[in-house]
Structure 1
Amino acid sequence: MELKGKRLLYIGGSASINDIAYYTKSHGIKLLVAGKFISQDIRSLTDEQYIIDVCDRECLRKLLVERAVDGILVIGNEDIITSVIDVAESIGLDFYVKRDQWNELQDKKNFKKNCIKYGIPIVETYELTSDFDSDQIPQSVYPVILKPADSCGSKGISICNSGDELKQAIQKAKLYSRTNRFLCEKYMDCPEITIKYLFDRGNIYVWEINDRFVNREQKNVGAIADCTIYPSKHVKLYFETMHPKMIKMLKDFNFYNGTMFIQAFVDGEVIRPYDPGIRFSGGLSYFITKHVFDVNPLELMINTSLVGRMCLGDENLIERISVDMNGRFLANYSILAKRGTIAEIEGLDRVAKMPEVFRMLQLLHVGDEVKMIGTLQQVFARFHIEAKSREELNRVMNEVYNTIQLKGIDGENMKLCQKISIL
């Protein structure tokens, strides 16, 4: 199917722009970009640039119509996706997620409601009113986690050990919620997994299940992923217990094209999903899939944005992907930065020469300030690693951590303490 001459509007950050630009250029696709700010790096890699507020529906609608956009690719921000859904539906432009799907399965409260409907276990939830009274939750229940019902990137999340902390957390969560709504759940301290799906013309594929390890060194804020490990130890448990019910739910919501991920706790022999994302996750793990199977879900999403199908030739590339990673062991490992301004970085050149590190993506640079604690803004760099075993992955990640040095403007160590054991 022909892509040449198609016009793709990209809305998102710079982490994926090189890969997007390479694919669009090699297929003769015109790459447009829009946003309030467009960096010089993005400008140099795109054909047309438009400085607009993409959450302004009328501005976005005008751009799509006047510039004859054939498809839209969004990575990240859920406020932007919400805007794009409204505008795309108003002008009849295909987008990978529809309004009813977004409202029912992206919103954390509605997602939990639908999980219950389909018999999928959830994390224990406590109903609170916005004018919280300490009697609503017994002291024996704490700690609890309080989060916005409709936010992403770990923003607005708090871990609470008392009623006073919960009152403050409610106000914080409402700041990051588009609808001033929040969710209060039992605090879970158990293994986590992420399950990722691709939808191609109504067919549903699981393209990844990883073990997710989070950083809990920071108190009273949301946990951030230190690393994800492939394959997960819990693949068999997922397919035996959660998969049939999840596929039934996704089919009933008529997902046709697109992608989705679900983060879940592994509570003994019970998998409890807690966070949905009808988008690419912040970890950008399609790099892993490309490395192992030579199949890039990012490219597949570009295809479906423009022509309504992921695979352009006769071969169904998605069927190359296996959640067991063909017996290989891989990690998507992040080094996290503390609050402050980065003044000095050391060790990246040495890490790049490690034979196990096959890709490195630096997100923070000298002069960047880290402000939002407990969010993905703390990710300094991601390192994609392959080793012969989980034990070897564990050793390499610790070597990477010890090699990288981050210093603040007063010479302080800006690396967040990361005690990782994936064994």
Structure 2
Amino acid sequence: MKKLLILGGTSASVEVLKVAKSLGYYVVVADDAPVEKRIAKQMADEAIAISTTDYEMLKEYIKSHNIDGVFCGPSEFNISNAMEVCKRAGLPFYCTKEQWDICSNKYTFKRMCRENQVPCVEEYDIKDTKEKIKFPVIVKPVDGCSSKGITVCEKESELETAYNEALKYSESKKVVVEKYIQNKGVGVSVRYIIENGNFHLSLMGDRYVTDPYGKKALTTNVVIYPSKYTEYYQKSIDQNVQKMFKKIGIQNGVLFMQALPEDGEIYFHEMGLRLSGGLPYVITEAANGINDVKMMIRYAVGEEMCTKYELDHIDPYLNGKSAVLFSIPIRSGEIGKIEGIEAIKQMIPLIDYTQYYAQGDIIPDNYIGTTMQFFCRFKFFALNREDAAEKIELIQKVIQIEDFNGKDMIYKYFDCSRIK
């Protein structure tokens, strides 16, 4: 039986753990927290108290316990740790530090795009004069994640505060200032599976942000798959993107890119050389049998990443199906009442339901505008966009999330006219 060491015992590792166990692997979870504080440790075959940054101790454990591979969830912190542990232990990892550094930094990613004729969002130097900067702009850390430290500025007087906020969430202490594309809060996601240097477009979706008008919560509220830009992307941009990543030597793994549409074009602004926290694999697996988490785990333990069946069935059009990812954002406060979930499950055949909070949990103010603001995620198939809108409206009508005073905790109800 192959043995997989997962770094990090939080909920971010749970899906990786479940998939690894479904493949028949023995799973060990490591971090320095006690078992009772870590859900993934409680689910593992074995849990060890070693910090994910203690590379030498992890290396010794790997050797003494015949560990075949090291992996983690979408945590960028633990991806960096896993990369270093694999290097020291002589185990396979899907990317190099150089590739990771280029792709995880918004500035270097966009520079790579410009060098390879891949359209990207215009950016400004914070030192530029107000004549050069065209407002509104969006300010964010170059190496941030989970939508933390992001601010939209309508005028020059807001720049300094936004810049300092972004700095808090940048490990490299660098900030990017970009043109804010005013398209009513619509984005496009693009996903690839890479196998032995061959790039396969696996999924594209249209993303709708939570609060496009107030601009305080720019997290993704709804995603509709496949994207209406899929055919255009394949004809106009796909080849340049593949050439771009081949230039830096990416051979195996998964990646996603995020873009903004404007006037019929799409412009990229960031990417992730990793699995996605939104778990889109449950949609692709239900539609056409493609599970990129399985692929990444197999690669980590030294097995063949993709089977011929899987390669033959990768399809960004989801085998003719439409799918929806719908996340419920909540405001800060203490959750006092949750109702309607079971009723929704009876009304709508769900692909997947993931809930992050329970009664009594407290949502702090600083979660607003980040992915930590989401109470749950629904995933389901739809006949078309009109059917998707009807199902979202039904969910919003039935679900109830209130504080202990009976006040509605849903931050913002999604306006389904945006997708119809």
TM-score normalised per structure 1: 0.91
Residue correspondence of structure 1 range 76-87 to structure 2 within 5 A: 76-87=74-85
Please say if 1:161 is aligned against 2:154: yes
CA 1:6–1:251 in structure 2 vs 1: closer, same or farther (change >3 Å)? same
Distance 1:169 1:119 in 2: 30
User: Any conservation in 1 of the 2:123–2:179 contact (CA below 8 Å)?
Assistant: yes
User: Any conservation in 2 of the 1:106–1:276 contact (CA below 8 Å)?
Assistant: yes
Q: Deviation of residue 283 (structure 1)?
A: 1.0
Please say if 1:318 is aligned against 2:311: yes
Please say if 1:231 is aligned against 2:226: yes
Q: Deviation of residue 204 (structure 1)?
A: 1.2
Which residue of structure 2 lines up, in the alignment, with residue 132 of structure 1? none
Which residue of structure 2 lines up, in the alignment, with residue 149 of structure 1? 142
CA 1:335–1:27 in structure 2 vs 1: closer, same or farther (change >3 Å)? closer
Distance 2:126 2:376 in 1: 38
Residue correspondence of structure 1 range 184-223 to structure 2 within 5 A: 184-190=177-183, 191-216=186-211, 219-223=214-218
User: Any conservation in 2 of the 1:356–1:396 contact (CA below 8 Å)?
Assistant: no
Alignment size in residue pairs = 412
User: Any conservation in 1 of the 2:117–2:240 contact (CA below 8 Å)?
Assistant: yes
Distance 1:45 1:62 in 2: 23
Distance 2:131 2:114 in 1: 24
User: Any conservation in 1 of the 2:31–2:52 contact (CA below 8 Å)?
Assistant: yes
What RMSD, in angstroms, separates the aligned Cα atoms of the two structures?
2.1
SS in 1 for 2:237: helix
Which residue of structure 2 lines up, in the alignment, with residue 408 of structure 1? 403
CA 1:84–1:218 in structure 2 vs 1: closer, same or farther (change >3 Å)? farther
User: Any conservation in 2 of the 1:201–1:308 contact (CA below 8 Å)?
Assistant: no
Which residue of structure 1 lines up, in the alignment, with residue 323 of structure 2? 330
Residue correspondence of structure 1 range 19-418 to structure 2 within 5 A: 19-37=15-33, 38=35, 39=37, 41-129=39-127, 136-138=129-131, 141-190=134-183, 191-216=186-211, 219-311=214-306, 315-371=308-364, 372-417=367-412, 418=414
Distance 1:12 1:261 in 2: 24
SS in 2 for 1:307: coil
Q: Deviation of residue 358 (structure 1)?
A: 3.1
Which residue of structure 2 lines up, in the alignment, with residue 7 of structure 1? 4
Residues 113-161 of structure 1: per-residue CA shift (max 9 Å, x gap): 10010011111100125xxxxx633497221110000011101111112
Structure 2: runs of 5 or more not aligned: none
Letter of the structure 1 residue corresponding to residue 399 of structure 2: I
Structure 1: runs of 5 or more not aligned: 130-134
Distance 1:163 1:365 in 2: 41
CA 1:217–1:23 in structure 2 vs 1: closer, same or farther (change >3 Å)? closer
CA 1:238–1:144 in structure 2 vs 1: closer, same or farther (change >3 Å)? same
> Which deviates more, 318-327 or 392-401?
318-327
> Which deviates more, 108-117 or 278-287?
278-287
CA 1:62–1:220 in structure 2 vs 1: closer, same or farther (change >3 Å)? farther
